[in-house]
Chain A
Amino acid sequence: MRAFAELLDRLSLTSSRNAKLTMVRDYLRDTPDPDRGWALAALTGELSFDAVKPAFIRKAVEARMDPQLFAWSYDYVGDLAEAVSLVWPGQPGANREPDLSEVIEGLKSATRAEAQGRIEAWLDALPQARERWALLKLVTGALRVGLSARLAKQAAADLGETPVAEVEELWHALEAPYADLFAWLEGRAEKPSSENPARFRPVMLAQAIDEAVDFAKLDPADYAAEWKWDGIRVQAANEGGVRRLYTRTGDDISRTFPDILDALDDQGVIDGELLVIREGKVAPFADLQQRLNRKAVDAKLMAAYPAAIRAYDLLQDGDDDTRALPLTARRQRLEAFVARQASPRIDLSPMQPFASWAELAALRADPPAGDPQIAEGLMLKRWDAAYVAGRPKGPWFKWKRDPFLVDAVLMYAQRGHGKRSSYYSDYTFGVWTEDAAGQRTLTPVGKAYFGFTDQELLQIDKFVRDNTLERFGPVRSVRAEPHAGLVFEVAFEGLQRSTRHKSGVAMRFPRIHRIRWDKPPGEADEIAVLEQLLAQMEAR
């Protein structure tokens, strides 16, 4: 338990992706089976106990100490699991310290009452607060240490110097604690079989196109173009009587979208974009968000936000693995497959015909009426390319629409994390609003923390330090007046209405596009610019 607790502790306070990868990989290397397998299951979200409720934990601790002292403690710490792990009166030697597998196996077979008794005994036996914290995180079903399932799988793959795609393809055929996976990664056994129905297939990803370099080398006749839809990439599988829906990282989201899986009648595996589609028309991304991250859905929600897949590839067609076929052949099969489903919940991502790159560029700048107008841009796919896991250079490109731009004024700057903790690197910026009396004030419209070079970061950091008005912990307010302040040209992908933001709008993917050292803040944009843009998007 100790090594696992230390790992969770470090992960939760580390921001660097590489550092997290190192920590998980070292843990998996140094920890014996089956503990490391259970840890991997916990980190990838494959384990979920809700063995105990917070109310039980609170009652258990109050039976052991003065409730008033606990109340003050909880109030000070703010997090129940953490407060309880710190105040829990130690009973060293009360019991043998449990290891991770003992905890997990002990909970799997337990009734609720048994689970509660066991958890109390483990809390008594664990000598470190950190271990008690990890135990409580585990048994309440929320690790939340800022590690994606994919990164955990990457760390496991690194152990065997194996591409993560191989681990991902196997993943849904494996069961915790993954002894066979580790045996293979460490070269002690054959690769486990991935032949389980409706498993996840690692996805093929696109490179961003470099307009200045790539087009000169590419022949438009070699490529198909289609619109890049603004939803989330999914994979829908129907095999051997099993239907599953996965995200692009292999997370199983079947339970959230039963309506889509109902529509997938034929045996096969589709790659496509998950969207909300009403009467054949794509709804804004905000509508899709109503359906995401929900454990349970009801008929009302499904009717209000009808989800659908806009299909663009076919990885399995009946008994045939189609991934080695060229796109031309896969596309033919896909069109026939989608037609057979005959459901509005699964439609086809249409191809966008074009003759030259110039013609395509014009279409991208001014998309035809309908859904393409809210597409994120275009996808280019080589007609003769097979479907290859990962991000190969050449067969697929994404060509995003030019971002929207707005000139906004820096209002607040916050210290960054990790490597950036000595820099003010997170910026809140605002645009001008005018009240009834004609008084102009800045209202915050977004926050960005990338888009600038290291050299520019140094310059902005210096500006922040030299122009600080007030400090609030890690945040500084910065001079922002018509003739003194700093203007950012902010790029963003779209706008949504938001009740959480004072300005009423929220930006998608805002980043610093250019620093306008030359521009007086008084000449930055007004909120009306954003409101107009929002109205245009909604009027489509």
Chain B
Amino acid sequence: MIRPQDLLCPKPEGLYCPPGNFYIDPVRPVDRAVITHGHADHARAGHGAVLATPETLAIMGERYGVDFAQATEAAPYGHTVARDAVEVTLVPAGHVLGSAQAVVRWKGLTMVVSGDYKRRRDPTCPAFEPVPCDVFISEATFGLPVFRHPPDGEEIARLLKSVAQFPERSHIIGAYALGKAQRIIRLLREAGWDRTIYVHGALERLNALYGRHGIDLGPLAQATTARKADFAGAIIVAPPSAMQDRWSRRFPEPIAAFASGWMQIRARARQKGVELPLVVSDHADWDELIATVSELRPGELWITHGREEALARWATLNGIPARALALIGYEDDGDD
């Protein structure tokens, strides 16, 4: 009798696969790693061998330098790779460019590690692909019924309305450097904003990388090149930490916007001094989490990180055995 915990089990380094001898998104350096996506809390430098999508490997190379691991192997979406006795397939997770779920098969048992994921459309990466499985291992960053992300078009429309309402001021959008920033820029382009978008220097390399992967971000410029008055009516995208930094003083009466799922909670917005919260997230919201679990109806639901207790309770009430893995090291409170 094969038990799921024989195939994948939590360890201090991360989720470990004994028959394949590899870790998934380990938080410490290990010999063999499978990386679901390029965010820093999932993709760390210093592993022996890394298996990931070509896009994720490119992102890691950009962030950590080309020698971030001793060996790398690119697994495009849908290609099955053997790791000892285990088959590993990476399929789209819809989180950021290159993000993948790790589908792990062994002796007829299928387990899916979602990594971080969302279900709604994202113009910068392919959509999440549901894979039938015995055990679904889900994140639960926004695993509370209060997190229900509105359609992103509504949020972009509110931003553009504010830009029109205050033409003499600038709008700074705090957005996580990998994924969120590029998605916001693409959404703005889709909404018809064709003017130059100013970006903080910390976003430039990843913007260029997205460009090389065929994601057209339109005219961008470093936010250092213009005079203060030139930023009137401008949209500026910056990492969240820069918004309250002295860096932001170069802009005329900036209105602080912040694109994050956490912005659903008014106290959070207020605490960060955000005047225009944009609820745009790269994670599944509560409705997407429960829709995904309902759709897959796995034999068991395991939850890696986030607000595990609420999702576990919902699953149990709906007849799906659930278990919180309490993995540590993933930022459930980060910038989203």
Contact = CB atoms under 8 A, between A and B. Distances in A.
A79 B267 contact: yes
B75 to A, nearest CB: 38
B260 to A, nearest CB: 14
Nearest to B286: A87
B269 A72 contact: no
Contacts of A12: 266
Contacts of A83: 146
Contacts of B274: 13
B248 interface: yes
A88 to B, nearest CB: 9
A310 B166 CA distance: 45
A6 B158 contact: yes
B144 A128 contact: no
Interface string A442-482: 00000000000000000000000000000001100000000
Interface in A75-123: 76-79, 82-83, 86-87
Contacts of A73: 144-146, 310
Nearest to A68: B313
Contacts of B144: 69, 72-73, 76
- Contact residues of A: prevailing secondary structure: helix
Interface stretch (A172-180, A414-422, A498-506, A520-528): A414-422
Contacts of A234: none
A72 B309 contact: yes
Contact of A69 (B154, B276, B277, B313): B313
B150 A66 contact: no
Contact of A129 (B150, B249, B310): B150
Contacts of B267: 77-79
B265 A422 contact: no
Nearest to A84: B146
A69 B275 contact: no
A129 B144 CA distance: 15
A237 B97 CA distance: 69
Contacts of B256: 421
Given A10-B276, A419-B253, A23 B165 contact: yes
A96 to B, nearest CB: 20
Nearest to B249: A422
A289 interface: no
Nearest to B269: A13
Contacts of B165: 22-23, 26
Given A13-B270, A69-B313, A419-B253, A86 B145 contact: yes
A416 to B, nearest CB: 8
Interface string A2-24: 00001000101111100100110
A87 B146 contact: yes
Contacts of B147: 86
Contacts of B317: 66
B292 to A, nearest CB: 17
Interface residues of B, number: 40
Nearest to B164: A26
A221 interface: no
Contacts of B189: none
B145 A69 contact: yes
A529 interface: no
A70 B145 contact: yes
Interface in B219-269: 243-249, 253-256, 264-267, 269
B76 interface: no
Contacts of A77: 146, 265, 267
B5 interface: no
Contact of A14 (B244, B248, B275, B309): B275
B314 interface: yes
Nearest to B273: A421
A13 B150 contact: no
B276 A474 contact: no
Contact of A76 (B146, B150, B247, B269): B146
A14 B276 CA distance: 8
A421 B314 CA distance: 40
Contact of B245 (A19, A79, A422, A474): A422
A357 B141 CA distance: 70
A418 B275 contact: yes
A104 B300 CA distance: 49
> Can you list the 10 inter-chain pairs with the closest CB atoms, starting with the nearest?
A421-B273, A86-B146, A87-B145, A73-B146, A422-B248, A13-B275, A73-B145, A422-B244, A14-B275, A72-B310
Given A69-B145, A72-B144, 9 more contacts: A10-B162, A13-B270, A13-B275, A16-B253, A66-B313, A68-B313, A69-B144, A76-B146, A129-B150
